[in-house]
Chains A and B, each alone.
Chain A
Amino acid sequence: MELLNDWWTWSPRLLEGLWVSVQVTALALIIGIPLGLCLAFLSGARSRVVRWLTILYVEIGRGMPALVMLQMVYFGLPEIGVVLDSYIATVVALALTTSAYTSEIIRAGLRAVPEGELEAADALGLKRGDVVRFILIPQGFRIALPTLMGFAILILQVSSLAFTLGLPELLSQAYSIGASTFRYLEVLTLAGILYLVITVPGGWLVENFDKRLSRHLT
């Protein structure tokens, strides 16, 4: 069929674009999640100022659309002298958004660690630092993992918005092929399929994980 032929022709460019999407997603997660972990701890800090600043950051990060964040970082920051290329701007914006959302996800995970385990650790004479490092964080992360994975899939979808920054990711490539061939429907559908190839199995993995995890968390 002619369609399959066209898909075959367009695939290399689209796959390149997909690769860029995956890269920025991965980088955003690698930077954003540890940041989210720090924020999760800062939100419980002793100093009221620190707590409030953290809450402010998280509420702003979660309350503004990712598109606004992306465009603000790319188009807005140059005004104060910070000029980033589309790739770095995308990673920075997505990392900031990730940190805000994951701080809440991780906080919930940390809160869900059974109190008894922490008490036992205290009773054994483990220092606070050790309890946090060896029990609270590993367990908290395990609990938060399905939600974090779901979020990772979401960020991959959000990365498509970076086309407004001119980043040559998947949607951007698909759109430009569409613009030159006027076969928008066909190429956008292929792009959609490529996204689905990652997001749908990813979603099943998360569901599976969730089920397995709730069994282990007596």
Chain B
Amino acid sequence: MEFFLAILSAVPTTLLVTFVSFALGAVIALPLVAGRRTRFAIVRLLSKGVIDILRGVPPVLFVFILFFGVGSDLIRWEPIPAAIVGLGLISAGHLAEIYRGGLMAVHAGQFEASAALGLTRTATFSRVVGPQAFRVVIPGMATWLISLLKESSIVSTIGVAEIMFVTNQSARSTGEGLLPFIIAAAVYIALGTPFAAFSRWLEKKLSFGRRA
């Protein structure tokens, strides 16, 4: 029983790391996807490069580089900020691709019509294209959020006292191997299922009034 309580007490930390990284990534992804779509080939290439790196490096390695690598030489990080920045940047990479998918799904005609009507680029994106792309990216973003929830377990390796960290501690201190991990798995699944259900609900709500 104590395991359960100990693990539960770590849930807020897990949720904190998950949501803040997600928010950070959602914001950073915007300039990244903009970079992917500019006229300037160099910026496009650089953006693609950054996105590929953020998506191609194992998240735990990335967090390590920030915490041990950058941390020791340049700045002194606390575990949680390092975790959030690390996961946030990785999220930015994935979300940029999701945003890109959403923008590509918007009919080219929308951009043309907006231009013909004399709308500024900002207005086009915020009032015409954005809302339409939003509908397409929601499922993708929800899926990523759930993945991020699970991915947050890796920050246990740099000492953040979230679910995985506490589970490990419990397992080691008592020598009771299996139960803590089973509880941890159950907690992650219990946290993830409402998200999945919420995302399906959101999808349905947004496809309301969609003319084929």
Physical contact A–B (CB less than 8 Å):
yes
Q: In A161-195, which residues have CB < 8 Å from any B CB? A: 161, 163-164, 171, 174-175, 178, 182, 184-186, 188-189, 191-192, 195
Question: Which single residue of chain B is at the shortest CB-CB distance from A187?
Answer: B69
Q: Are B182 and A65 in contact (CB under 8 A)?
A: no
Contacts of B64 in A (CB 8 A): 171, 175, 184, 188
Contact B178 A188 (CB under 8 A): no
Measured between alpha carbons, how far is A65 from B147 in the docked complex, in Å?
A: 8
Of A29-37, A45-53, A67-75, A110-118, which stretch is located at the interface? A67-75
Q: Chain B's interface: helix, strand, loop or mixed, by majority?
A: helix
Task: Say how far B4's CB is from chain A's closest CB, in angstroms.
Answer: 15
Main DSSP-derived SS at the A contact region? helix
Closest CB in chain A relative to B168 CB, distance in Å: 7
A residues in contact with B134, CB < 8 Å: none
Contact check, A79 vs B61: say whether CB atoms are below 8 A apart.
no
Quick check: is B56 within 8 A (CB to CB) of the other chain? Answer: yes
Instruction: For chain B, give the interface size range.
Output: 35 or more
The answer to whether B150 touches A191 (Cβ under 8 A) is no
A64:B185 contact, CB within 8 angstroms:
yes
CB pair B60–A161 under 8 Å, yes or no, is yes
Give the shortest distance, in Å, between B17 (CB) and chain A (any CB).
13
> Residues of B contacting A63 with CB < 8 Å?
150, 185, 188-189, 192-193
| B98 is an interface residue with CB less than 8 A from chain A | no
With A77-B178, A157-B58 as contacts: A192 and B65 at CB distance below 8 Å: yes
- What are 25 A-B interface contacts by the 8 Å CB criterion? A59-B189, A63-B189, A67-B153, A67-B156, A68-B181, A68-B188, A69-B185, A71-B164, A71-B171, A75-B171, A75-B177, A76-B171, A77-B177, A80-B178, A157-B56, A163-B60, A171-B61, A182-B72, A185-B72, A188-B64, A192-B65, A195-B56, A195-B58, A196-B52, A196-B57
A interface list, Cβ under 8 A from B: 59-60, 63-69, 71-72, 75-80, 153, 157-158, 160-161, 163-164, 171, 174-175, 178, 182, 184-186, 188-189, 191-192, 195-196, 199-200, 203
